[in-house]
Amino acid sequence: MTTSRLVTGPGFIDLQINGFAGADFNNPSTHLDDIAGAIDAILATGVTRCLPTVITGPPESMVAALGNLRRAQSELPRGCVFAGFHVEGPHIGAEDGPRGAHPARWVRPPNFDEFQRWQEAAEGNVRLVTLSPHWEHAPAYIEEVVKSGVAVSIGHTGATADQIAAAVDAGASLSTHLGNAAHAVLRRHPNYLWDQLAEDRLSASLILDEIHLGEAFTRVALRAKGVERIILVTDAAAPASAAPGAYRLGELDVDLTSDDRVVLRGTNKLAGSALKMNQALANLVRIGGFTLLDALATVTANPARLIRLPENSDRVVFREGDPFEIEEVWLDGEKMV
């Protein structure tokens, strides 16, 4: 009988998480007690630092959601799990496909004054912004955001090769959940997926739940980017680590189906995921053929480098398997799980 190996490594980092354990991070009214419960559930998956993610919505609602998350970060006993915040939208592609599940009526062009309002509400803790570079003034906006110390990612886009290149020249350094939020039918070449895969200055985040991406695309993306430029994210929404049923994602009604899909109510359109990071890691090893050491880099060193996250003493003890079984979690030297 083979005994699975027990491994100790750094705490995992998730750069994209819209909610967890029933708590919707996009709702400005989500109670801090519910967010505390979500943090406990996140820790149980081995994630010790994450970026709660606010998606496209009304300007005042996005600001209020960031303010609520900042209160959770500063007031909750384990609020330091929130390493900062990710704003995904509203400066994205408005077309069906690239827009994904984001509400079309709130899509709008980049505005640095709006970014500054986000930062004011978050008290400077926005660390990552996702936008489409198809907007006329996107390069100038990206330059300003990057100059302020915040990472910029390309996502939810139907941009041309020239627009993507201009965004990277301006400082964009990541592709958000590459392979998703795209048109159902694409030209063979050129297209914005190939353009981002081929750009060596871009890292790529991937949702490896075996729902969002097919195995062939996953393997191609892993080979194109290499170990040092792959970042696993969950893109988890409120239904993650909760029972199937009805939930909310900002102003959107979503359902968690019996096969672990988070979809817009009444459709098959994906709206985030129910993925846990300990499962994503196991999927990466199995599908991508990554060694355990390389797999761990995609949820530790790589995301930390992208958002300039300081070193910490977080540790996770887990047993290899499918998924990886979390045994202990240490946050800032204190045992949490």
**Helix (H), strand (E) at residue 282:** helix 277-288
Q: Report whether 304 contacts 8 (CB < 8 A).
A: no
235 labelled catalytic:
yes
Q: Are strands 315-319 and 262-264 parallel, antiparallel or unpaired?
A: unpaired
DSSP secondary structure letters along 106-157: G-----HHHHHHHHHHHTT-EEEEEE-TTSTTHHHHHHHHHHTT-EEEE-S-
Beta bridge partners of 108: none
Beta bridge partners of 17: 52, 236
Beta bridge partners of 329: 316
Q: Contacts by 74-79 with C-beta closer than 8 Å and gap 24+?
A: 74/123, 75/32, 76/32, 76/35, 76/36, 76/39, 77/36, 78/36, 78/39, 78/40, 78/43, 78/331, 78/336, 79/39
Q: In what order do the strands lie in the sheet with 85-88?
A: 12-17, 47-55, 85-88, 126-131, 151-154, 174-175, 203-206, 230-232
The catalytic residue among 14, 209, 235, 314 is 235
Q: Are strands 47-55 and 315-319 parallel, antiparallel or unpaired?
A: unpaired
Cα-based torsion angle of the residue sequence 127, 132, 134, 139 in order, rounded to the nearest 10 degrees: 10
Q: Report whether 303 contacts 15 (CB < 8 A).
A: yes
Residues with a known catalytic role: 235
